[in-house]
Structure formats: C-alpha cells, structure tokens
Amino acid sequence: MMMKSRFPMACALLCASLSPQAMAGEPAEGFLEGSRLVLTQRNFYFHRNMLNNPGGQNYREEWAHGMLLDYSSGYTRGTVGVGVDAYASLGLKLDSNRARTGTDLLPVDSAGRPEDDYTEAGAALKLRISRSELKYGSQAPMNPVFGTGNARLFTPMAIGFSLASRERDDLLLEAGHFTAGNDGNSTNGDGALKALFAQVETRRVDYAGFDWTPAEGTGLSAYTSRFEDVWRQHYLGANHRIGLDEARALTFGFNLYRTRDQGRRLAGEIDTTAWSASARYSQGAHALTLAHQRVRGDEPFDYLGFDRQPGTSIYLANSVQVLDFNAPNERSWQLRYDLDLAPFGVPGLGFMTRYIRGDHIDDSHHRGPGSYQRYGEAGKRWERDIELRYVVQSGSAKDLSVRLRQASIRSTEQVARADTADNNELRVIIEYPLQLL
C-alpha cells in the first residue's frame, strides 16, 4: 500500500521543483503541427530446430507480416501541454500450421492452430510541463528494470503511468506504475505482467531511476523497481568511452543487479546478485568486444515477462539472441567481432559474430519450494550468433533494413530441460518504416 502513494507524490515533487523559467518551457509546436505518423512494415521468418526436446515439439517454423501505424501528436499550447500517442497493428499469417507453431509470431486458437490474422489498437494520453512528460495508457517503456522489448513482430505493451523529465540535457529522471500488459502477438489489452522465468503474475510494478551523462562518452544510471509480491530489484550501470585517436577507441561497460524476494514471495525465496563487465576496442571498421558475466545466487536472474514473450529489462552483457546466461551461479565469457563494411564501399552493410560460454551452473543449494525450474549442478552451455544487416541509405527505399540472424546453442542435459532446449535457429527480418506525417 505504501508504494501506491509514491508515484503521485513523485509527480508532485517533480512539478514543484520546476523553476518559473523551466515552467515556461520551449515554444509548443501545437497539437497538429507537432504530429508524427509512421507506418512500419515488418516481415519476419523464424525457423528453429530443437535437438533435444524429448516428448516436446522439435520443429518450429513460421512466417508472418506485420503492419504498425504509430501516431504521436504534438502538444496543445499553454503551460500544460496535452497530447496523445496511439497505434494500430495488423499481423498476417503467411506460413504456419499447428505442427510448426510456437515461435510467438502468431497467436494460436484454443485448438492450437495459428490465427490467420490479428489486430490490436491502443493509446496513451500525455501531459507536458516544460521538458517533463506524464503519460497514461498503452506504452513501451525501455529501461534496465522495466523494458518491453521488440524481438518478434510487434512490441509488447504495458498499461499504466510513466513520468519522464529532461529539465537538464545531461539527466533523465523517470518513474513508472504499471498494472497490466500484453504480448506483441496478443489482442488482450489487460494481460499479465510476470516474472519471466518464474512465470508468476504480479498485480503491480513500480520503478524509478535516472540516467546521467556527466561528460561526453561517460554514462551513469541507477534504477529501482518493485514487482509486487515477487521481488525488489536494484540496478547500477556505468559506461565510459576513451578516444585513442581519430580511428581507435576503447569503451568499457559495467552492469549490476541486486534482487530480493518481496511481499508474499510468489516466486519463492530470491537472493540474487548479477553483474557483467565488458571492454570493446574499435579501430576503423573493426571492433572486438570481451565480456564477463556472473550470477551469484541459487535462483536465476529474472526480469519482466508478459503472457508468453519476454521483456528486455536485462542489461547484462551476455544477454544475447537466445540465451541470457542468467542461470543460478552461472559465470560466462563472451568474445564478439563487428565489421562495418562502409569503408569497403558498401555503406549500410554490417556483420557481427559472437561466442558465449557459460559454466558453474548450480542450484543444488536452493532452499525450499519455489517457481523456478531446477538447473542441477555443474551445468554448462554455449551460444554462437552470426548476424548480417543491411540498411538502404538513400532513394525511395531509404531506411529499409534486412537482417539475417543465425544462432546455435548447446547445453548439458539438465540445463536444457530447465531453460532452453538445444537448437539451431534462423531469423530473417525485413523492416521498412515510412513517415506519413
């Protein structure tokens, strides 16, 4: 109950702290003059071959096309500007059947058959004072403790309040209070917010935090969240870029999460610390990244999920295409190589490959009952990703992108049963955003 009053109080304190000069804000463009309308088309082919899924589905393959109309208004003129954000989406089945569904591109009916099409619409009301914005409705927040993601045809949406303030160019302050959500392949506007790996529902999520850029190339952030009756989670992040010369640079990153059970402990006891550190060296068209990640605790590091799809509120370095390398007591290493082919005469074309290996997976000391699958002890796994991406740079098809993503994962038997079965997968994603207003 205590948290229930914190969000309105935070709004009041923020508004009260604005100076008269800040309250004057920047000249408003106007509700219609500041409007923006974008039609994004996304074509998605998903193939996954499961290698060790005894008694389960071993082959998933679907092809779908999505159209998303996204409208963002300007603000009415005056001290308090009023506006609206709205969207409407249409998903179409191009190829799938009951034997091959399960990629989360398409919803399925009660008989397990993929739907031929599905639609959804939503909106959010927004208020602006100076450079601070309060929203209520369907939204897609993106931060380290509550991020909705965009890994399938459409982005999952959350329903609730959010507050974001940029009164200073180098500082973002934000807070949120959300009570429902829905998958990107769902038409249910009041679905569940969940702990993804525990698969337990929470009735309410609250978060607050800041993202600060004290100097060029340096970023610091801190967030805290509460998933009611599941956990409290805190986050610290830092990154720093050092330019060695015009062609070379070093970039360092650090992320830390601390999660403890809360309230009725719907997911059981949770006492987990997860962190990652990364170093990236870039020279001209080439970049090499080395990352290390550790989880300390007898439960996996968990984060936001919806009815079926995951969110993206995991900013750990080794959270990659398929796996998060977030199992109990897991430690993992990543080696990644990026190549920008623009210097070789192909602007817009990029290549990436990475290999991540995790070991020391062990939840044998887990105490008491809980909602998490059991990973066993002495578990190991690895993932290899390859990605090729091209973005059209000019002409009538400007900004059209084509992405090919291939991944392979292998795990010891108990880890595969608890998390993700060994598989090889291919994703082909074609996206074309067209600004209409």
Structural domain includes residue 15 = no
| CA distance readout (Å), 235 to 199, 205, 316, 408 | 22, 15, 11, 30
The Cβ-side half-sphere exposure at 159, using a 13 Å CA radius, reads 16
Q: 55 falls in which pLDDT band (50, 70, 90)?
A: low
The alpha carbon of residue 349 and the mean position of all alpha carbons in its chain are separated, in whole angstroms, by: 24
Could you tell me the two tokens for 66? 């999505």
Active site residue 366: no
In order of 140, 295, 390, the CA distances from 64 in angstroms are: 22, 36, 20
65-98 residue pLDDT tens: 999 999 999 999 999 999 999 999 999 999 999 9
For residue range 207-255, what is the model confidence (pLDDT) as tens digits?
A: 999 999 999 999 999 999 999 999 999 999 999 999 999 999 999 999 9
Of 271, 95, 93, 291, nearest to 185 (Cα)? Answer: 93
56 CB neighbour count, 10 Å cutoff: 10
Q: Classify 352 as helix, strand or coil.
A: strand
- Residue 307: half-sphere exposure toward Cβ, Cα within 13 Å: 18
The tally of CA atoms less than 13 A away on the side-chain side of residue 271 is: 7
Q: Is residue 3 a part of any domain in this protein?
A: no
Q: For residue 19, is it within any domain? A: no
Summarize pLDDT for 22-54 with one digit per residue, the tens: 444 454 578 999 999 999 999 999 999 988 765
Tell me the residue length of the chain: 437
Is the Cβ–Cβ distance between 183 and 156 less than 8 Å? yes
Q: Quote the tokens at residue 182.
A: 């829905």
Mean pLDDT, residues 253-280 taken together: 96
Residues 377-392: tens digit of each pLDDT: 999 999 999 999 999 9
Tokens encoding 14: 């923020």
Range of the domain at 302: 36-435
pLDDT at 50: 87
- Helix (H) / strand (E) element for 21: namely helix 20-24
**Number of domains forming the structure of the chain:** 1
Residue 310 pLDDT > 70, yes or no?
A: yes
Alpha-carbon distance of 255 to 291, in angstroms, equals: 11
**pLDDT of res. 153:** 92
Would you say residue 4 has pLDDT above 80? no
Average model confidence (pLDDT) across the chain: 91
- Is a pLDDT exceeding 80 seen at residue 332? yes
pLDDT of residue 10: 44
Q: What is the pLDDT of residues 105-160, one digit of tens each?
A: 999 888 889 999 999 999 999 999 999 999 999 999 999 999 998 888 999 999 99
Please give the average per-residue pLDDT across 269-287, as a whole number.
Answer: 97
The pLDDT value recorded for residue 12 is: 44
Confidence of residue 185 (pLDDT cuts 50, 70, 90): confident
* 35, 72, 229, 362: the active-site residue: 229
Write down the H helix ranges in 37-99.
Answer: none
Q: Which two tokens stand for residue 346?
A: 């192909």
Residues 91-123 as b/e (b if ≥16 CB within 10 A, e otherwise) read: bbbeebeeebbbbbbbbbeeeeebbeebebebe
Q: Report which of 352, 223, 198, 366 is spatially closest to residue 280, judged by C-alpha positions.
A: 352
177 is catalytic: yes
Q: Strand, coil or helix: what is 110?
A: coil
Q: What is the mean pLDDT of residues 408-427?
A: 94
* Residues 194-206, mean pLDDT to the nearest whole number: 94
pLDDT computed for residue 51 by the predictor: 85
Task: Work out the pLDDT band at 368, boundaries 50, 70, 90.
Answer: confident
* pLDDT (mean) for 188-196: 83
What is the full DSSP assignment across 245-289? SSSEEEEEEEEEEEEEE-TT-TTB--EEEEEEEEEEEEETTEEEE
Backbone φ and ψ of 151, nearest 5° = -95, -5
Active-site residue, from 313, 319, 332, 411: 313
Give domain status of residue 22, yes or no: no
* Annotated catalytic residue 206: no
334-352 residue pLDDT tens: 999 999 999 999 999 999 9
Q: Which residue has the tokens 């610290």?
A: 236
- Average confidence (pLDDT) over 306-326: 93
Is residue 8 in a domain? no
Report the distance separating Cα 334 and Cα 94, nearest Å.
36
Residue 17 has pLDDT above 50, yes or no: no
Rounded to an integer, the average pLDDT of 306-311 is 86
Domain-embedded: residue 273: yes
Residue 230 neighbours by CB distance under 10 Å: 28
Out of 47, 70, 165, 177, the active site residue is 177
CA 313/CA 428 separation, integer angstroms? 24
What are the angstrom distances between the C-alpha of 87 and each of 1, 36, 73, 262, 401?
33, 12, 12, 35, 22
The CATH number of whichever domain residue 315 belongs to comes to 2.40.160.10
Does residue 23 form part of some domain?
no
Percentage with pLDDT > 70 across the chain: 92
Euclidean distance between CA atoms 22 and 326, whole angstroms:
43
Residues 6+ apart with CB under 8 A from 8: none
Give 6's pLDDT tier (boundaries 50, 70, 90). very low
* Cα(40)–Cα(138) distance, integer angstroms: 18
pTM attached to this predicted model: 0.90
